Chain A
Amino acid sequence: MKLKSLLLGAAASLALASAAQAGRGDSGHLNIIYWQAASIMNPYLSGGTKDVDASSMVLEPLAHYDENGNMVPVLAADIPTVNNGGVSKDLTSITWKLKPGLKWSDGSAVTAKDVVFTANYCMDETGGCQQLAKFADVTKVEALDDLTVKITFGKPKPFPYGPFVGSTTPVIQARQFADCKGIKAPTCTEANFNPIGTGPFKVDEFRANDTITLSANQNFRDPDKPAFATVTFKGGGDAASAARSVLETGEFDYAWNLQIAPEILAQMEAKGKGKILAGFGPLVERLMVNLTDPNPKWGDERSTVKHPHPFLSDKAVRKALSMAIDRTTLVEVGYGKAGRVTCNVLPSPAIYNSTANDSCKVQDIAGANKLLDQAGWKRGPDGVRQKNGVRLSILYQTSTNAVRQDFQALIKDWWRQIGVETELKNIDAAVFFGGDQSSPDTFQKFFADIEMYANNFDGTDPEAYMGSWKCSEIPSPENAWLGANMPRYCNPAYDKLVAEMAGTADINKRAELAKAMNDMLMQDYVIIPLVWRGNVAARANTLAGVRLNVWDSDLWNIADWSREK
């Protein structure tokens, strides 16, 4: 730690010690470790979680999601809704009111112009803004007065909380970024590394892909917060050593995203220096079933809707594959505390969670065998079922990752027991998820029968996510393999539900629709959910106030963190 920040912290705590019991800077120094180092402090130029989280200590949105997925105002005075008149009756505009008296860390006032600037900064075509999707359908952002911003959409938006809700779209200072728009965005190194923000901390020194040193923002709106005077945000290494530094050696206070073998994590926690936290968002590890034929003989038409899959287009086969899986074992082997059994692709927020598919929680190999027998799939001499010369032989692909390879091995064995032959394949994550048009191994091209990965959505509204499985979202050579409908599922009834949700504003009605869509996908067995995955973090025993949040940045409430005596 630098002497300057030490002195600053000491001075701050001295000045406030007499005034209040828990004043700004009282808790001294906080050490945070992210095993992926932050590269930049501007979430508009890097959508990586590490960068979004790091910048959330400095930059703030109009509203955050709390740990239960509810919106809480941050820079805004309250959350606009149709009822309080903040959202227009026709759902095409939303008007935000800023809290009065807000200041940037340089002492200047926060105004609606900053919000307008931020929107234009991101919506600039040439800037390569990574959060552009959050501003989808926005046609105009204007400042009605110094504290009022009106966002107008090109079509009715039942959920107008895309821009400026959550840490991915914070407000940046117009003055600092004035010369950084569009093509010049990447050249503003100084602004991107040391943004002026409204958050509880400000950057003292930013070392890209290494360490960030921060100190309390003296202009933060709550005079008693943050409790910590200084923060070191260290990056680099691997998840296991990050966990060790909190749970075993006690060098750090908070470690993020600890995806490591559950038994190792439990051993570390047993040392008694820290606690493991888990939070559950909408992240689900799932199998995608390819309803089209990936056979190379079709050339350019492989894995397109022109050729249905020889056996996975039979629902009985898909159902049997799902029934043969023991999800409890998968959770124990792969995730421990960080996983739960789920039978839905949309397990959360709680109001969207359906209970209609819970039968999948118990493995049923006998039932799966019976189902296949009834459907006419007979075991051949090698134990593999076949019908009309078609063998149940599956190519099962996923990204390279120890847990995923364990899952592949287990599932291969269960499928063997129901007479299905499985060939396993794993592909480097950067290639699999990379979307390189020239690579045959991307998850969009899906040149395999089954593929496994995890996915979720940002924020709490599943509308766009559930829209992924419309007919028009099917990846194909015509749309350059873009599209999120990996199973190539096309059901007019489903498309109708998607359209209906896009025009419904009532939250309970929306929940019903989302559940119906989830049930349709589950009962057609085109997506086979495996594990509902949580976020795992570790905190030192002495660190108080951490509320692990899966809907927003891990550090969303860092202003409330403090040192327990």
Chain B
Amino acid sequence: MLNFTIRRLLFTIPTLLFISFVIFFILDAAPSDPTGNLPLTIPPDVREKIRESLGLDQPMIIRYLLWCKQFFVNEPLNLLAQWGINIGDPDRLRVISFQTRSPVVDLIAQRMPQTLWVVGMSYVVGVLIALPIGIISAVKQYSWFDQMGTFISMIGFSVPTFFTGVLMIVIFSVWLGWFPSIYDTTLVVDSWRTLGLQIRQMAMPVFVLALFNAAQISRFMRASMLDNLNQDYVRTARAKGLRERTVLLVHVLRNSLIPVITVIALGVPQVFGGAIITEQVFKVNGLGQLLIIAIQGGDIPTVQTLTFIFAVLIVLFNLIADILYGILDPRIRYD
């Protein structure tokens, strides 16, 4: 197992390098211009100077290598410096965003908490709702509960979040006035009152995203349970005289969870990617919103760095899913 993990980890290095190059190449080929959104009153020759000052007059390969140096060498060294370990010249050039002229990694660090709170929480809530629904739907197949569950997951699946989000704002913020429609990222939770505010402002985005996540996972859970319920070992367990509760929760559930856990693990990188649209609708200034603003502004270093970090997470969580599979399912051995 350890061998397998190390082998896979080593293999990810060329994969990620390749991915970073592809991202850079695509971004470079895309017709985006960091001066494109500036007012037309800024004349073209000034725009040309701005592009030069951003280093855009350099050939693509030079810019790519520069980014690699900044991201793979300077940023980790800078992180070490923050922990008190100084190596080399402390005046290193970090990955600087075109729009804000500040280090991209700092921007990401600033936004990570919002995304983890809102999108992460919605994932947890979604999973907690989805598992019982999936289990009950499978056990009581074609009952009214199953039909309801199917109906709700279809809604969660097919109605886009930009619609449910705005609908909820209109109902709960405009008509009822229960929740704020705009997320306050500067809120510091240090008392019961602020905790209440935090819960109120998180309620709507978490619910909207949880509905979406739950819809997907509950369908997986249900299908996996149904697969297992018809297996011979279930009949054996029942024939042994085990209680139905034990059969379902110990035997069937544990076996059914294996594929579901893979699905859940593979979904985790999406949490970090944020939910671009939902963050935009509720003005949660998280990673997804950072990405969309950077794309609109032609801020190539930010887009490149964010996309690459997402790629790293996807590769990592694929690996984690594979390893979990080996641990959970004794039939699967990698060595």
Q: Given the interface contacts A40-B100, A248-B174, does A186 sit within 8 Å of B53 by beta carbon?
A: yes
Q: Are A430 and B37 in contact (CB under 8 A)?
A: yes
The answer to whether B7 has its CB under 8 Å from any CB of chain A is no
The answer to whether A48 has its CB under 8 Å from any CB of chain B is yes
> Which of A46, A183, A436 is close to B99, meaning CB atoms less than 8 Å apart?
A46
Q: Given the interface contacts A234-B182, A237-B182, A430-B33, does A128 sit within 8 Å of B52 by beta carbon?
A: yes
The answer to whether B70 has its CB under 8 Å from any CB of chain A is no
Closest to B43 in A: A133
Cα–Cα, bound, A211→B283 (Å): 11
Of A151-159, A202-210, A516-524, A542-550, the one touching chain B:
A202-210
The answer to whether B90 has its CB under 8 Å from any CB of chain A is no
Q: Which residues of A contact B41 (CB under 8 A)?
A: 47, 133, 456-458
Q: For chain A, residues 479 to 522, give those with C-beta under 8 angstroms from any C-beta of chain B.
A: 482-484
The answer to whether A88 has its CB under 8 Å from any CB of chain B is no
Cα–Cα, bound, A539→B41 (Å): 27
Q: Which residues of B contact A438 (CB under 8 A)?
A: 31
Q: Which residues of B contact A436 (CB under 8 A)?
A: 31, 33
Of B19-27, B102-110, B245-253, B326-334, the one touching chain A:
B102-110
Q: Given the interface contacts A133-B46, A236-B283, A238-B280, does A189 sit within 8 Å of B102 by beta carbon?
A: yes
Q: For chain B, residues 229 to 244, give those with C-beta under 8 angstroms from any C-beta of chain A.
A: none
Cα–Cα, bound, A126→B188 (Å): 41
Cα–Cα, bound, A241→B41 (Å): 28
Q: Are B100 and A434 in contact (CB under 8 A)?
A: no
The answer to whether B36 has its CB under 8 Å from any CB of chain A is yes
Closest to A190 in B: B102
Please encode chain A, from 236 to 259, with 1 for each CB lying within 8 Å of some chain B CB and 0 for all others. Answer: 111001001100110110000000
Q: How far is the CB of A153 from chain B (nearest CB, A)?
A: 17
Closest to A432 in B: B36
Q: For chain B, residues 26 to 50, give those with C-beta under 8 angstroms from any C-beta of chain A.
A: 31-33, 35-50
Closest to B51 in A: A128
Q: Are B36 and A434 in contact (CB under 8 A)?
A: yes
Q: Given the interface contacts A208-B107, A210-B185, A456-B41, does A431 sit within 8 Å of B100 by beta carbon?
A: no
Q: For chain A, residues 418 to 436, give those with C-beta under 8 angstroms from any C-beta of chain B.
A: 429-431, 433-436
Cα–Cα, bound, A45→B110 (Å): 22
The answer to whether B306 has its CB under 8 Å from any CB of chain A is no
Q: Are B186 and A211 in contact (CB under 8 A)?
A: yes
Q: Are A234 and B283 in contact (CB under 8 A)?
A: yes
Q: How far is the CB of A402 from chain B (nearest CB, A)?
A: 15
Q: Which residues of B contact A125 (CB under 8 A)?
A: 49
Q: Which residues of B contact A435 (CB under 8 A)?
A: 33, 35-36, 44, 47
The answer to whether B86 has its CB under 8 Å from any CB of chain A is no
Q: How far is the CB of A227 from chain B (nearest CB, A)?
A: 22
Q: Are B186 and A433 in contact (CB under 8 A)?
A: no
Q: Which residues of A contact B285 (CB under 8 A)?
A: 37, 207, 209-211, 235-236
Of B121-129, B146-154, B214-222, B288-296, the one touching chain A:
B288-296
Please encode chain A, from 128 to 149, with 1 for each CB lying within 8 Å of some chain B CB and 0 for all others. Answer: 1111110000000000000000
Q: Given the interface contacts A430-B31, A430-B298, A435-B35, does A251 sit within 8 Å of B182 by beta carbon?
A: yes
Q: Which residues of B contact A433 (CB under 8 A)?
A: 36-37, 40
The answer to whether A322 has its CB under 8 Å from any CB of chain B is no
Q: Are B281 and A241 in contact (CB under 8 A)?
A: yes
The answer to whether B267 has its CB under 8 Å from any CB of chain A is no
The answer to whether B173 has its CB under 8 Å from any CB of chain A is yes
Q: Given the interface contacts A39-B297, A49-B39, A211-B285, does A439 sit within 8 Å of B31 by beta carbon?
A: yes
Q: How far is the CB of B254 from chain A (nearest CB, A)?
A: 44
The answer to whether B96 has its CB under 8 Å from any CB of chain A is yes
Q: Which residues of A contact B290 (CB under 8 A)?
A: 209
> Which of B33, B96, B106 is close to A187, meaning CB atoms less than 8 Å apart?
B96
Q: Which residues of A contact B38 (CB under 8 A)?
A: 46-48, 130
Q: Which residues of B contact A46 (CB under 8 A)?
A: 38, 99
Please encode chain A, from 43 to 55, with 1 for each CB lying within 8 Å of some chain B CB and 0 for all others. Answer: 0011111000000
How many chain B residues touch A (CB < 8 A): the figure is 56
Q: How far is the CB of A45 from chain B (nearest CB, A)?
A: 6
Q: Which residues of A contact B50 (CB under 8 A)?
A: 128, 130
Q: How far is the CB of B224 from chain A (nearest CB, A)?
A: 39
Please encode chain B, from 71 to 113, with 1 for each CB lying within 8 Å of some chain A CB and 0 for all others. Answer: 0000000000000000000000100110111110011001100
The answer to whether B304 has its CB under 8 Å from any CB of chain A is no
The answer to whether A121 has its CB under 8 Å from any CB of chain B is no
Q: Which residues of A contact B177 (CB under 8 A)?
A: 249
Q: Which residues of A contact B180 (CB under 8 A)?
A: 249, 251
The answer to whether B115 has its CB under 8 Å from any CB of chain A is no
Cα–Cα, bound, A241→B177 (Å): 15
Q: Which residues of B contact A45 (CB under 8 A)?
A: 101
Q: Are B185 and A207 in contact (CB under 8 A)?
A: yes
The answer to whether B139 has its CB under 8 Å from any CB of chain A is no
Q: Which residues of B contact A183 (CB under 8 A)?
A: 53
Q: Are A47 and B186 in contact (CB under 8 A)?
A: no
Q: Which residues of B contact A238 (CB under 8 A)?
A: 280
Q: How far is the CB of B158 from chain A (nearest CB, A)?
A: 23
Closest to A126 in B: B53
Closest to A37 in B: B293
Q: Are A249 and B185 in contact (CB under 8 A)?
A: no
Q: How far is the CB of B9 from chain A (nearest CB, A)?
A: 34
Q: Which residues of A contact B44 (CB under 8 A)?
A: 435, 444, 482-483
Please encode chain A, from 105 to 136, with 1 for each CB lying within 8 Å of some chain B CB and 0 for all others. Answer: 00000000000000000000111111111000
Q: Which residues of B contact A355 (CB under 8 A)?
A: none
19 A-B pairs besides A208-B102, A430-B31 with CB distance below 8 A are: A33-B182, A47-B38, A48-B38, A125-B49, A128-B54, A130-B50, A132-B46, A183-B53, A185-B53, A189-B102, A209-B285, A210-B285, A237-B280, A241-B181, A251-B182, A429-B37, A433-B37, A433-B40, A444-B44
Could you give 14 example pairs across A and B, Cβ below 8 Å? A48-B37, A128-B49, A129-B49, A130-B42, A183-B53, A188-B101, A236-B289, A237-B182, A249-B174, A429-B36, A430-B31, A441-B31, A482-B45, A483-B44
Q: Which residues of A contact B (CB under 8 A)?
A: 1-3, 33, 37, 39-40, 42, 45-49, 125-133, 183, 185-189, 192-193, 205, 207-211, 213, 232, 234-238, 241, 244-245, 248-249, 251-252, 429-431, 433-436, 438-439, 441, 444, 455-458, 482-484
Q: Which residues of B contact A (CB under 8 A)?
A: 31-33, 35-50, 52-54, 93, 96-97, 99-103, 106-107, 110-111, 169, 173-174, 177, 180-182, 184-186, 188, 190, 280-281, 283, 285, 289-290, 293, 296-298
